[in-house]
Structure 1
Amino acid sequence: MITMKLKYVCPFCFAEHAIGDVEFACDSRMICAQRDPSGKIVGVPGAGEPDKKMQEYKHLSQAPLGPHHFRAHKTPKFSMPDSAVCDWCRQVSRTRVCPSCHNTLPSTIDNDEAMIISLIGTRGSGKSTYVGVLIHEMMKHLFGPFHGTFQLYGSEDQREYRTRFEDYLYKGQPIPQTTTHLTGNTMTENRPILGMLKMQSSGFFGKVKPKMLVFFDSAGEDWTNMDTIQVVAKYVAKSSGIVFLIDPLANQHVRDAISDDASIRASISADYEPDSDPTKVINDVARLIRDQNGLKESQKIAIPVAAAFSKLDVLEDKNLLPPGGRLSQPSPHVQRGMFDDTDADSVNQEVRSMLDRWDYGSFINTLDMNYATNHCFAFSAYGREPASDGTIAPPIPKRIEDAMFWLLHLNKVL
C-alpha cells in the first residue's frame, strides 16, 4: 500500500507545509527583470530582489539581494509541482524553495521523508567533533558493507562541512566551540548539514533507496539560555532521532578516579555548572518537545534518543570500563554488514551500569520516564587524547557509528 505524502518539513527552518505549498527561484537571474501588469520591463535585468524571507532565516539586519521568487500558476493539492514559469522573465525554473525561508529544497523533498538528527549536549561534550568525524566516516567507510553510499548533498553543505569540521579535524587542530544562536541581542543562523544516503535493496532488481539525513548541531549554551531555547526547540521537535552527548569528565566520580590533571583540563566542561547537569538538560528538552508537539506531561515522547558517553578512550585508558565488556571491543556492525542488536543491547546495559555507579541514576530515570525509546552508548571521536601542545593526530574513532546505526535501524533504513 502506497501512502500519499501530503506534507513536508523544510530541512533548514523546519517549518511544515502542505505538499503543494512551494515557491520557485528564477534560474535565469542574469536576464530576469521585473515587469508591470502589461508585461513591460520596469526593473534592471540581473538585479534580482531583496529577500526578506532569507533575511528572517539568517537574522540579518537587512534583506540580501536574491533571485526573484514566485509560485506555479496552478498549485496541485496532492502533489508538488516540479517546475513553474517565472512571472518576470517567462523562463522555466525547476529550483524549488521553502516558502518560509527561501532555502533550496532537496530534489527528493516530495517523495522522501528527511531524517532529522539533532545533536544535544552540554558545552564541551564533543558534539561538533562527533558530527565532524561521523560524517567523515560515513562518507569513507561505514556504508560499503551495507551496499550503500553517503555523500554531502550540495556545494553549500560541502563548504559548511569543510570549514566547520574537516579543516580542523584532519589538519591537526580541535574544532572551536559551536557558536550559540544568541550573540549579544541578535539571533544567528546555525545551518544544518544535509547528506544523501543511498541504500540498494537486496534482490536481482534491487532498487536504490535515497534518504536525506539532516544534522543539526546546537551549541551547549543553547540549552542553558532561555532566550535561545525556543529557537532550538522547533528543530529538535521535528527530529527523527536525538543523539544526547554526555561528557564523562564532567562527572565528579569520574574526575575523582582520574589523577592525570591533563585529562581533566582536556574537558571544557570539567568545571561543573548546575545548568549543564545532563539530567536537567534532558528534562528541559522533553518539556520543550511536549510544548512544541502538543503532548501532555503523562505522554512519553516517541522520538528515539541515543544517550552517548563521549571520550571513551579516556575511560578505557584509566581502566574505568567493565573488564572484558563490549565497550572494550570494536563495533561489529560494519564487519557484519548488518545491525547487531545483541551488541547494542549489551552496550546499553554496560553504560547504564556505569551511569548508575557514577550517581547518574536520576539521568537514567529521567530518560526512561520521558522517552519511549532510548538506548545508551559510548564512543571516542578522536580515539586518543590530544598532544600536550593541543594538536591532534587524524582521528581513529571508536564506536562512533553505534548511535547513528541504531537510529537508522529504528527508522528502517539500515
Structure 2
Amino acid sequence: MGLLDFFRSNNRKQNNDYKKATYEKGPFMIKCPFCFKKFKTDQVVFRASHSEKGDPEYEKTIDELLNHYNRKIGKGILGEINPIVKPEGLPESSKIRVDGVLIEIRDKYDINTSERLCPYCHNELPVTSGRGPSKIISVVGASQVGKSVYMTTLLYVLEKYTGERIDASLIAGSSAYNDEIRENQERIFDKNIMLDPTPKQHVEPLIENLKFKNDKIPPITLIFYDIPGEGMTDKGYIDKHGEHIKNSDGIIFLVDPLQMRALRKKINLTNRELKGDFTEKYQEPKDIIVYLFENFISKQSHEKTSIPTAVVVTKSDMLKSLNDEEYIIKNSNIFRNYEHEKFFNLNEYENIDGEVRKFLGKVDSPFKGAMDTYFGVTGYFAVSSLGCNPQNLQIDSSTNINPLRVDEPFLWLLYKMNYLDGGRE
C-alpha cells in the first residue's frame, strides 16, 4: 500500500459515511434470466449433446416447456430437438462440479454435455450461473432516448477503463454476446456510424460477467435488458416482454432533454435535420412512469418500488447550448468527467445527484415529483454517451468520441448492491 493509499484508507475509515461492501455468500441460487424463476444449482437439467434412435429417453422430441415459453413471448416454436437429461438419474461419478456447482454431466452413453438449462423454461443458462449471484438490470426510457448507444458505450467504458479502476474485469457472457457487442462498438468507435433503432420485437437479454481480482468476492452474472422505446408505452408489449422489469435488481431510467417540453425550444438544434418544437415526436418522461406503474409498481406495497433506480439525463453535452443559468450553470459538474477509483466517491455522487435533481425540478417538475412518489431508492445522473451531437446517423469523423460519466449510474447500482465500497475524499 502506497502512502497516499494509506492516508486515503485511514481518512475513509474515520468518516462515518464510509461504507464497506458486504458480499452475498454461496451457495448461490440460480435466477433464470428468461423466466426469472429461482432454483438450486442441482435442479438444473441438461440438453443431451446427441440423440439415439430406439431409446425412448434419448430420441429427438418436441420440447413442450421451451415451446410454451417461445409462444408466450412471440418467438417461433421448434420442431424435434435433442432430449432433456435430468442429473438426478445419474451416479455422482458422472457429475462434474466446479466450486460445488454442477456444470457438466456424462450421460449413460458416457458422452459429456455441458448445456445447462432452466428446469422451468428449458432456456440455456449462462455458464457462470450458480457460481455467483445473478443481477438483472433493466434499461428503460422512451423512444429515441439513446438506450442502445448508451449500453454500447457503457460496456466499452467498463471493459477498457472502469474495470481496472475498481480492480475488476468485465467480459461478455458468451462468444455470441461478444460478437454482438464488438460489432456495435466498432460501428460507433471505429466507423463513426450511429446504431439503428432497436426494432420492436422480443428483446433477448445481454449477459456479461463481472469478476473482481479479489477472489473472496464472488463473480456477478449481469443480465441487461433493453426494451425498445416504442414498446415502453405499449401495454400489450410490456405485458408480454416486460416481466424482467419487476424482477430487476436495478433499473437505469434514461431521460432525453428533448423529452422535456420546457427545453425543446431552448436547446440549440442547428446541427439537426429537423428544427423547432418536437412536441409530437417526443414522449414525456412521465409517460414511461405511467406504464411502469400500471405494469408493476401499482402491485407493490404502498404503490412504491424499492428497486434501486438510476435516473439518467442523456445527451448532457446538448445542455451546454442552453446558455441559461436559470436551469444549469456553465461550470456545472454535469459537463466535467469524473472517474470513481477503488471506491464509489459519495462526495462526487452527492454533487451530481443534487445538481440533476435541481435541474429536473425546474424543467420537468411533474416527472421529478412522480419519481419521488413511486420510487423509493433513486440516484440522479447526467451522461453523454458520445460527448458530441451526431447528424443524420453520422458522427463527425473529426470529432473525438468522448463518453462523459457513462459508468457512474452503473457504479452507483453496484454500490447499492453492496459490491462496491463507498467513501469520501
Range of TM-score over shorter length: 0.7 to 0.9
Amino acid in structure 1 at the alignment position of 2:87: A
> TM-score normalised to the size of structure 1?
0.82
Given residue 190 of structure 1, which amino acid in structure 2 is its aligned partner?
V
Change (3 A) 1:314 1:222: same
Of residues 102, 107, 128 in structure 2, which corresponds to 1:86?
107
1:307 touches 1:374 (CA, 8 Å); kept in 2?
yes
Counterpart residue identity of residue 95, structure 1: E
Residue-by-residue CA offset, 1:308-339 (whole Å, 9 max, x unaligned):
11101111244353232211221131xx4321
> CA 1:12/1:389 → structure 2, altered by over 3 Å: closer, same or farther?
closer
1:242 pairs with 240, 251, 258, which one? 251
Q: Deviations over 1:50-105 (max 9, x none)?
A: 444444437344415543322113599xx964444436x45243331113443322
Measured against aligned partners, the alpha-carbon deviations of 1:284-320 in whole angstroms (never above 9, x if no partner) come to: 21342246xx523x15311011111110111124435
SS of residue matched to 1:222 = helix
Whether 1:262 and 2:271 are equivalent positions in the alignment is: yes
Question: Which of 221, 233, 236 is the equivalent residue of 1:212?
Answer: 221
In the alignment, the residues of structure 1 paired with residue 335 and residue 303 of structure 2 have an alpha-carbon distance, to the nearest angstrom, of: 37
8 Å contact from structure 1 (residues 112, 211) kept in 2: yes
Per the TM alignment, residue 380 of structure 1 is displaced from its structure 2 partner at its CA by: 0.5
Answer yes or no: is the 8 Å Cα contact 1:72–1:85 preserved in 2: no
Q: For CA contacts below 8 A with separation 6 or more, give which structure has more relative contact order.
A: 2
Query: Alignment partner of 1:149: what SS?
Result: strand
1:380 aligns with 2:389: no
2:345 is matched with 340
Asked whether the 8 Å contact 1:121–1:220 carries over to 2, the reply is yes
Counterparts of 2:114 and 2:130, CA distance in 1? 13
Residue 410, structure 1, aligned to residue 416, structure 2: yes
User: Using a 3 Å threshold, how does the CA distance of structure 1 residues 100 and 160 change in structure 2: closer, same or farther?
Assistant: farther
For residues 363 and 400 of structure 1, the distance between their equivalents in structure 2, rounded to whole angstroms, comes to: 22
Deviation at 1:398, TM superposition (A): 0.6
1:400 corresponds in structure 2 to 406
| Aligned match for 1:288, one of 286, 295, 303 | 295
* Equivalent residue for 1:369, pick from 343, 350, 373: 373
Task: Confirm whether residue 195 of structure 1 aligns to residue 204 of structure 2.
Answer: no
Q: Secondary structure of 1:108's partner?
A: coil
Are 1:327 and 2:334 an aligned pair?
Answer: yes
The amino acid that maps onto 1:141 is: Y
Q: Which residue identity does 2:115 align to in structure 1? A: T
> Which of 165, 174, 194 is the equivalent residue of 1:154?
174
Residue in structure 2 matching 1:168, options 181, 187, 193: 187
Q: 1:337 to 1:216 in 2, by over 3 A?
A: same
Counterpart for residue 67 of structure 1: 82
Is the partner of 2:251 in helix, strand or coil?
A: strand
- Alpha carbons of structure 1 residues 154 and 259: separation in structure 2 relative to 1, 3 Å: closer
Within the alignment, does 1:306 sit opposite 2:307 as a pair? no
How far does residue 347 in structure 1 lie from its aligned partner after superposition?
0.9
Query: Cα deviations across residues 259-300 of structure 1 (Å, max 9, x unaligned)?
Result: 434348499x944468x3211312421342246xx523x153
Q: Tell me if structure 1 keeps the 8 A contact 2:141–2:255.
A: yes
Tell me by how many angstroms 1:402 deviates.
Answer: 1.1
Q: Tell me which of 182, 194, 197 is aligned to 1:177.
A: 197
Separation in 1, partners of 2:323, 2:31: 45
Q: Equivalent residue for 1:12?
A: 34
Q: Which moved more, 1:168-177 or 1:127-136?
A: 168-177
- The number of residue pairs the alignment matches comes to 381
Match of 1:115 in 2: 135
Read off the aligned partner of 2:55 and give its amino acid letter: D
Deviation (angstroms), 1:116: 1.1
Give the AA of the match of 2:34.
F
Q: Indicate if the aligned counterparts of 1:21 and 1:80 stay in contact, CA closer than 8 A.
A: no
Structure 1 letter corresponding to 2:419:
V
Q: Give the share of equivalent positions with the same residue, in percent.
A: 22
**Structure 1 residue 96 corresponds to structure 2 residue 111:** no
Distance 1:93 1:306, change over 3 A: same
- Structure 1 residues not aligned, in runs of 5+: 182-188
SS of 2:198 mapped into structure 1: coil
Residue 167 of structure 2 aligns with an amino acid whose one-letter code is H
Measured in 1, the distance between the counterparts of 2:391 and 2:242 equals 37
| Number of the residue aligned with 1:279 | 286
Contact 2:312 2:409 in 1 (8 A): yes
SS of residue matched to 2:87: coil
Aligned to 1:226: 235
Q: Within the alignment, does 1:390 sit opposite 2:403 as a pair?
A: no
1:159 CA displacement: 2.5
